[in-house]
Structure 1
Amino acid sequence: MSAATETAPATPTQHEAHDPQMTGALEVTETAAAKIREIRETEAIESTYALRVKVMGGGCAGFQYDLYFDEPVEGDNHFESQGVKLVCDQMSFMYLMGTSIDYVEGLQGAGFKFNNPNTTGSCGCGSSFSV
C-alpha cells in the first residue's frame, strides 16, 4: 500500500487558474495577450508582476475598469489566460466574473475592450459601465 499525500486546501479568497470552477472566469484574447506581452517587454516589467484587473467607482456610468502590472497580494484571485498571469481582488471579481478582455485597433483609436456579461449599460466613452 502506498501512503496518500495530503495537500493543503486552497485559501477561500484565493483561486488558482487551474480550479475547474474558475475556468473562463476572467480571460484575455490572443490579441490582448500579445499586446500585454509587448507592453511588458517594452516597459521592462518584472516577471513577478501580474496584470491586475480592477473595477473602481467612477466614470460616467458608475464604475470603470483599471489595468496595470502589480505584485499579487494575499486574497487576490489568480488566473492565467493565453500565457498571461492575471490577478483580481475579491470585490472587483464580483463584477468581472466571466469577462473577456480584448485589444482592438480602429479609426477611433486603440485600447483594451472589456466584454463583461455582468453589465447593464455603458457610456459613450466605452470605459465605464453600470451593473
Structure 2
Amino acid sequence: MMDTANKAPIQLTATAVEIVKQLLQGNTEAPYLRVGVKGGGCSGVAYMLGFDAIMEDDDLFDVAGVPVIMKKAHGMYLMGMEIDYQQGSDATGFVFRQPGS
C-alpha cells in the first residue's frame, strides 16, 4: 500500500489518540490537533498542544486517524517526538517524550 501522506514527525500513543478523538468529537470550530513549539532562547523550547483550525502555513498529518497540524517551521523541533496521555495521582495530561532520552 502506498503511503501518500507525509510521514508525521510525531507519534501519538494509543491512549493519547483515544483522548484526542474524544476531545475532537463534534468540534467543528477547531477540528485539528495543533502541535507546536514556542520560545527557544536559554530556557529551551516549550511544547504546545491545542485544538485549532488549519492555516495557510500549516502542514497536515494523519497520525493514527487524528488530523494533526503544525507550522512548517516547527517540524524540525518536533521530529521523533512521542505524545502520550498520562493519568496519574500527581499529574494528568499530555506529555511530550523524546524516545531514547
Which one of 13, 20, 28 corresponds to residue 12 of structure 2? 28
1:37 equivalent in structure 2: 21
State the SS of the aligned residue for 2:43.
coil
Q: Does 1:64 align with 2:46?
A: yes
Q: State the shift of 1:17 in Å.
A: 6.9
Identity of aligned residues (%): 34
Aligned in 2, Cα 1:109/1:48: closer, same or farther, shift over 3 Å? closer
Q: Which runs of 4+ in 1 moved over 4 A?
A: none
Q: Which entry has the higher C-alpha Rg, 1 or 2?
A: 1
Gap runs ≥5 in structure 1: 1-15, 120-131
TM-score normalized with structure 2 length? 0.79
Higher strand share: 2
Distance in structure 2 (CA, Å) of the matches to 1:56 and 1:116: 17
Residue 104 of structure 1, aligned match among 75, 82, 86: 86
User: Which residue does 2:5 correspond to in 1?
Assistant: 18
Calculate the aligned-residue CA RMSD, in Å: 2.5
Following superposition, the deviation at residue 48 of structure 1 comes to 6.5
Aligned length: 97
In structure 2, do the counterparts of structure 1 residues 48 and 111 end up closer, same or farther at CA, with 3 Å as the change threshold? closer
Deviations, residues 32-91 of structure 1 (Å, cap 9, x unaligned):
0111112223xx411772101010016x93221111111111221211112100011022
Q: Structure 1 28/34 Cα, relative in aligned 2: closer, same or farther at 3 Å?
A: same
TM-score, normalisation: structure 1: 0.63
From 24, 47, 56, the counterpart of 1:74: 56
Structure 2 unpaired stretches of 5+:
none
